[in-house]
Amino acid sequence: MKGILLINLGSPKNLEDNSVKEYLREFLSDDLVVDYPKWIQQILVNWIIVPNRYKKTQKAYSKIWTEEGSPLINNTIELGRHLAEESSLQVETAMRYQEPSIDEGINSLVNKGCTSIQVIPLYPHYAISSTLTTKNKVIEAVKNIDKKVDVNFVEPFYNKPEYIDSLCSLIKENKKEDSDLLLFSYHGIPIRHLRKASPNKKHDYQLCEKLECISKEFCYRHQVYETSRLCAEKLNIPQDKWRVTFQSRIGPGWLKPFTDKELNMLPGKGIKKIDVISPSFVIDNLETLEEINIEGRQDFLAAGGEKFNYIPCLNTRKDWVTVLSNLSKR
């Protein structure tokens, strides 16, 4: 019997100090996220980042937390329920960090009689800090299973026609007619991750936005530009009416242009009415609900912007559920 494991990033279990610290420690101690020598990483995480950042993170989460808890976790679980109905398969949801864990998800599927598991990492674009670390964790978890189980992964779907169609339908339904610009804001990554993801450990930064990118299967920057280009093309949006930016940076050396900087500069360039979407996330979370729809909105309006329209993630849309169901059959 076949089952599906949906995997998202994760969030704290609750808003208590220890829970937020635990989540940050687990996330930032991943060698594919903070990719420094272990002793440097642990000094940064345990002595600098977590002690100085957890209160700010806690406050940010408190702005979007619901009575049911984390929007990311709850919406991912709901997405799993819809996918189970659509596909008529056993579906479990898991988080790369914290709970429900990948081990729990795999064990649950195996205990239900699944001998084949289709793993769907909910990241449209490839990055070592999301796609690869999730794959590694799944492979590690499967090794602890006594029974033989066949595991297959759905690869990044950034350019799959059905995904682009669903994303375009979402944009079309929410985009404002008088908007000056459609801003595609993607999660940022360190530039060095582009080189590390490349098979030859080299990377031609200038070719990222073009189809000539030789590492496009593993190039996050190429893939986000391709998603944006395909959407703009399908929606007939002129090239000067859309652009790509990157959010959520932690330190220096990350992909540019930065979303927060652009939001502050755009009104001064006469762009005062914008639509903003974050396609690297398929479920609304801290980075979309707080960083973009609250902080980003405030920055843009304070800088002289007039209208800020946030376009939500795909979340549990019916056409998106169908996309996942089709992807799971391949």
- Cis amide prior to 100 (ω within 30 degrees): yes
| Burial of 16 per CB tally in 10 Å (0-12, 13-18, 19+) | exposed
Tell me the pLDDT of the chain (330 aa) as tens digits: 999 999 999 999 999 999 999 999 999 999 999 999 999 999 999 999 999 999 999 999 999 999 999 999 999 999 999 999 999 999 999 999 999 999 999 999 999 999 999 999 999 999 999 999 999 999 999 998 888 899 999 999 999 999 999 999 999 999 999 999 999 999 999 999 998 998 876 776 666 666 567 788 899 999 999 999 999 999 999 999 999 999 998 878 999 999 999 999 999 999 999 999 999 999 999 999 999 999 999 999 999 999 999 999 999 999 999 999 999 987
Q: Do 208 and 72 belong together in one domain?
A: no
Peptide bond into 156 cis (omega under 30): no
What's the DSSP call for residue 45? I
Res 199: pLDDT:
80
* Sheet with 242-247: strands ordered across: 242-247, 181-187, 273-277, 307-311
Please choose, from the candidates 215, 197, 219, the residue with its C-alpha nearest in 3D space to the C-alpha of residue 35.
197
Contact 156, 220 (CB under 8 A): no
**Amino acid identity for residue 231 in this structure:** C
Indicate which CATH number applies to the domain containing 241.
3.40.50.1400
On whether both 177 and 128 belong to a single domain, the answer is no
| Domain hosting residue 61, numbered range | 2-157+319-328
Can you give the pLDDT at residue 162?
Answer: 98
Same domain flag for 35 and 14: yes
Based on the fold, state whether residues 143 and 205 are members of the same structural domain: no
Can you tell me whether residue 277 is helix, strand or coil? strand
Residues 148 and 166 in one domain: no
My answer on whether 101 and 230 are in the same domain is no
Cβ burial, residue 69 (10 Å; 0-12/13-18/19+): middle
pLDDT at 198: 83
- Ramachandran bin of 30, using left for φ above 0, alpha for ψ from -120 to 50, beta for the remaining angles: beta
Among 325, 282, 272, residue whose Cα is nearest residue 303: 272
The pTM for the full model equals 0.96
Number of domains in the chain: 2
Pair 170, 149 in one domain? no
The torsion defined by the Cα of 315, 161, 318 and 233, in degrees rounded to 10, comes to 70
| Closest listed residue to residue 156, CA positions, set 196, 197, 99 | 197
DSSP state of 258: B
Alpha-carbon distances of 127 from 88, 266, 288, rounded to whole Å: 30, 28, 19
**Same-domain status, 95 and 175:** no
Residues 96 and 220 in one domain: no
Residues 100 and 191 in one domain: no
For residues 147 and 196, membership in a common domain is answered with no
Kindly state whether residues 271 and 286 are assigned to the same domain: yes
